[in-house]
Amino acid sequence: MYFELGMSCLSKALTSIESNAVAAELQDARFWFNKSLASPLGRPDSTLFLLCTEVLTEFSVGELNGSVESLANQIDNSVRDLIISHRSKFDPPWLRARTFEVLLWEQLSQALRGLENELLEPSWYEPAVVIEQFLLPIYSASRTILKLNQLGGIESLVRPRIEGSLAAVAGQAHLMRKWFCQNQFSEIANDAKHLLEQADKLVSKYSDDQILFGKQSNGLIESLITNSNLTANHKSLIINAIYDAFEVHMTNLTNAETMVIETCLLAVASQSDYHKSKDSKQLFNAILLWTITFLHARLEMTVRDEPAIAYLFKRADGNLAKEDDLQSDYKKFMESNVAGTKIEVMNVGGGRADVYFQFSAERIVVEVKRDSKDCSFDALEKAYSSQAMDYQNISARLGFLLVLDQTDRDGAAMHISELVKSVELIRKGETQPRFLVIIKVPGERLRPSEQTKLAKKKG
- Is residue 218 within 8 Å of residue 243, measured between CB atoms? yes
Give me the pLDDT at residue 397, please.
94
Which of 321, 190, 221, 210 has its CA nearest to residue 266? 210
Which of 109, 397, 186 has its CA nearest to residue 272? 397
Which of 67, 74, 29 has its CA nearest to residue 51? 74
Nearest-angstrom CA–CA distance, 51 and 30: 9
Which of 56, 49, 121 has its CA nearest to residue 78? 49
Give me the pLDDT at residue 375, please.
95
9: buried, middle or exposed (CB in 10 Å: 19+, 13-18, 0-12)?
buried
Give me the pLDDT at residue 214, please.
40
Nearest-angstrom CA–CA distance, 258 and 255: 5
Give me the pLDDT at residue 218, please.
46
- Is residue 337 within 8 Å of residue 290, measured between CB atoms? yes
160: buried, middle or exposed (CB in 10 Å: 19+, 13-18, 0-12)?
middle
One-letter amino acid at 180 equals F
Query: Sheet of 351-359: strands edge to edge?
Result: 342-348, 351-359, 362-371, 398-405, 434-442, 420-425
CATH architecture of the domain formed by 272-458 = 3-Layer(aba) Sandwich (3.40)
Would you kindly state where each structural domain of the chain is located, as residue ranges?
A: 2-205, 213-250, 272-458
DSSP for residue 273: H
Give me the pLDDT at residue 211, please.
39
- Is residue 335 within 8 Å of residue 341, measured between CB atoms? yes
Helix axes 323-335, 278-300, angle to 10 degrees: 120
State phi, psi for 420 to the nearest 5 degrees.
Answer: -130, 135
Cut 0.75: pTM above it = no
pLDDT tens across the length of the chain (459 residues): 788 888 888 878 777 767 677 778 888 888 888 888 887 765 667 777 787 777 777 766 544 455 666 666 777 667 666 655 555 555 555 555 566 666 666 676 677 777 777 777 766 767 788 888 778 887 877 666 565 555 566 677 777 778 877 877 767 887 888 888 888 888 888 888 888 888 877 765 444 443 344 433 444 455 556 556 667 677 677 767 776 777 677 677 887 888 888 888 888 888 889 888 888 988 998 899 999 999 999 999 888 878 889 999 999 888 999 999 999 999 989 988 887 677 767 656 666 778 889 888 888 999 999 999 999 999 999 999 999 998 888 889 999 999 999 999 888 889 999 999 999 999 888 989 999 999 999 999 988 777 777 777 776
- Is residue 117 within 8 Å of residue 126, measured between CB atoms? no
Nearest-angstrom CA–CA distance, 409 and 398: 30
Residues near 128 by beta carbon (within 8 Å), at least 6 away in sequence: 179
- Is residue 35 within 8 Å of residue 2, measured between CB atoms? yes
Which of 119, 219, 115 has its CA nearest to residue 169? 119
| End-to-end Cα spacing for the chain | 77
Give me the pLDDT at residue 105, please.
64
Nearest-angstrom CA–CA distance, 217 and 212: 9
